[in-house]
Each structure stands twice: as structure tokens, then as C-alpha cells.
Amino acid sequence: MKAWEVRETTGLDGLVLNPDRAEPKPGQGQIVVQIRAAALNYRDQGVIKGAYGYTKFPVIPLSDGAGAVVAIGPGVTQFKVGDRVASTFFQRWTGGHIPADASKNSLGGMIDGVLAEYALLNETGAVHTPGHLSFEEAATLPCAALTAWNALVTTGQIKAGDTVAILGTGGVACFGLQFAKMHGAFVFHTSSSDEKLERVGSMGADALINYKTTPDWDKEILKQTEGAGVDHILEVGGAGTLEKSMNAVRQGGSIYVIGALAGPGSINPRAINRKSICLQGIHVGSREMFADMNRAIALHGLKPAIDQVFGFDDVKAAYAHQQDAKHFGKTVIAI
């Protein structure tokens, strides 16, 4: 089969198309999926640059794929040949608290991922996809969508009338907006681009703030909430934005610590106790959460925001497109 491989952590140069890699065979409790589409996450940029540890080279990158089951191993009970499925980011986090070794079983990092014609998955490392989604759309769900769902819905227990701040217009952010609106919340959405703000506005964002022209976006949120602050913040900026998020959240509000897009920074921890802020780390989510999310996506007919679909031979152009933050929502590769 054809498979992209990270052979060296030297960026795009270390990413090589292998035209003749052995096709996987399913063992006990495993399925083989013919991957029809895969989606990029910010994490995948770090993988090709060596920002994460590996157990072996070469490794097939990307955690997020969707396709059809073509073979099942002994003992598989939840899938049959022909089922449309998506991969789960963690192959062994089925439910409950995140296990200590979750990252060792994350696709496209420590173990082979899905940027190939076929992928070998644990039966417990796949879910059925919502029936109304194409393979390209379903491929966007495993990491970005589930992270936003875990933060706002599973952990945050968001409800109608809540207020949410969402930073930027990448994959996690766009799903965060859609789930917040699904639950009847009011959304403050920030972006570096007025054009992207218009797009989130058309998706239902209620208040739009350009964080380049309004660098004190935290003060703007306080102004617009009459000093109260917001109930939830989807924090994808990390150290570089956390201080502002702590300013913009309400007393007793929740900040979901997800990403590190904004570079270095420092925080004064005093506000955490003074405002009784809940700072909650989020690491994607479990298979159980994924199934819950898919039920809601199917019921509401939610369609992921896809920026662009690249061909399997144009994988490097897809990485470059995402790296330059030109995208809105998800960048997808059709296989």
C-alpha cells in the first residue's frame, strides 16, 4: 500500500511517501480500515519537527482518519466489513479517567497513524461515523472536535444562557463554536482576521473581536459583560494568552487548558484563587465521549467547517497551508 512516513524529524523533508509498504493484517480484536480521508491537527506539525517522543521510525503520521472496514480479526464484535468508521486519537482510552499510558497509544505519534491507504486499529480504537457525514467530514472529528466537546460539554456541562470565549478560528475553535451554539450559549469569538470573524459570525458567533486590532480582548469581553466575565474559555493559546483568559473569565468560571499557539508568557497565579477559577487540562477525549458527541452531531445534522481538501500526493502542501494559519477550521486530505 501507499503510506506517508515520518522518517526523520526534520520538518517536511523528513516526510516521505512509501509506495510499497506492507498492508496491515488484523490480529485479535483488530480491524483494518481502508482510509478514505485524513485530517490535520496542529499537533501534526509538531510530530514532523520532533516535538513529541517516538517509539520507532518510520511512523505513519496523523491521528484523524475515516474510511470503511475491509477486514476484521478474531474476537471483533462491534464492527463488520463495510462499516463506515473513524479512528480514535487514543487507541486504548475507552472511558472513565484518562489512563497514564494514553499517549503511548496515540495514533500518528507513538504508534502508526492513518495517512495511508489502510490502517490497523483496535476494535476499541474506532467508532461508527454519523450517517450524514462524508468521509472527508468524518475525518475531522477524532481530535479537534472531541477536544472541544470534552471541554465544553463533558467537562464544562455547558447549558443554555452560558457565555463562552473562543480563541482563533482553527479546528478546535470552530467545533467549540458549533457545540456552544448547539447548547444555546452566547459566544465571544476572537480572530486575527476580520474575514474569518465574518465567517464565525455567519456560523452563529454572537460577539466578534479581532485580537490583533484589539489586543486587550480580555478587557473588551469584560466591557461587554458589564464586568462579569464569561463562564467558559476554550484556551488554545497557552502561556501567551492565559493571563488574559484569567482576566476575561468570571468568578468561579472555567478555563479549559488545551493548546499552546500563542508562544511564551507568564501568569500571576493569585487570580486563580482570588477568582476561584477552575483551570482544567483537556487531552482530547475518550471513545465513550466520542460516541456521545457523534450522537449529538447526527441529531443536529452538524457539518464540520472544512477549509480545503488536498489530494494524497499534495500532503506537503496541506501541511504548509495549515502551518501558515491560512486555514479556517479543518484541513483535510482525501485518500
Ligand X SMILES: NC(=O)c1ccc[n+]([C@@H]2O[C@H](COP(=O)([O-])OP(=O)(O)OC[C@H]3O[C@@H](n4cnc5c(N)ncnc54)[C@H](OP(=O)(O)O)[C@@H]3O)[C@@H](O)[C@H]2O)c1
- CB-nearer residue toward ligand X: 144 or 187: 144
> Which residues are CB-contacts of 29 (< 8 A; sequence separation ≥ 6)?
73, 74, 75, 76, 122, 123, 124
- CB-nearer residue toward ligand X: 133 or 172: 172
Among the listed ranges 105-113, 191-199, 270-278, 292-300, the one in contact with ligand X (CB under 6 A) is: 191-199
Q: Which residue is nearest to ligand X (CB)?
A: 170
Residue 67 interacting with ligand X (CB under 6 A):
no
Q: Using CA atoms, how far apart are residues 293 and 221, in angstroms rounded to an integer?
A: 29
As given in the structure block, the three cell numbers for residue 124 are 476499541
Contact 251, 225 (CB under 8 A): no
Q: Residues 67, 109, 142, 171: which binds ligand X (CB under 6 A)?
A: 171
Minimum CB–partner distance for residue 18 and ligand X (Å): 26
Interface mask toward ligand X for 211-230; x: CB under 6 A = x-------------------
Contact 209, 190 (CB under 8 A): yes
Q: Residues 60, 284, 289, 293: which binds ligand X (CB under 6 A)?
A: 284
Interface mask toward ligand X for 247-266; x: CB under 6 A = -----------xxxxx----
- CB-nearer residue toward ligand X: 32 or 315: 315
Contact 40, 322 (CB under 8 A): yes
As given in the structure block, the three cell numbers for residue 285 are 477525549
Q: Residues 128, 275, 283, 303: which binds ligand X (CB under 6 A)?
A: 283
Interface mask toward ligand X for 127-146; x: CB under 6 A = ----------------xx--
Residue 178 interacting with ligand X (CB under 6 A):
no
Q: What are the two backbone dihedrals, phi and then psi, of residue 33, each rounded to the nearest 5 degrees?
A: -115, 130
- CB-nearer residue toward ligand X: 34 or 178: 178
Contact 146, 169 (CB under 8 A): no
User: What secondary structure letter does DSSP report for 143?
Assistant: I
User: What secondary structure letter does DSSP report for 59?
Assistant: B
Q: What are the two backbone dihedrals, phi and then psi, of residue 145, each rounded to the nearest 5 degrees?
A: -65, -45
- CB-nearer residue toward ligand X: 10 or 192: 192
Q: Using CA atoms, how far apart are residues 141 and 171, in angstroms rounded to an integer?
A: 9
The helix/strand/coil state of 165 is strand
- CB-nearer residue toward ligand X: 12 or 325: 325
Q: Using CA atoms, how far apart are residues 241 and 253, in angstroms rounded to an integer?
A: 16
Q: Using CA atoms, how far apart are residues 285 and 291, in angstroms rounded to an integer?
A: 11
Residue 193 interacting with ligand X (CB under 6 A):
yes
Size of the site for ligand X (CB under 6 A): 33
* Binding site residues, ligand X, CB under 6 A: 41-43, 143-144, 147, 167-173, 190-193, 196, 211, 236-237, 240-241, 258-262, 282-284, 322, 325
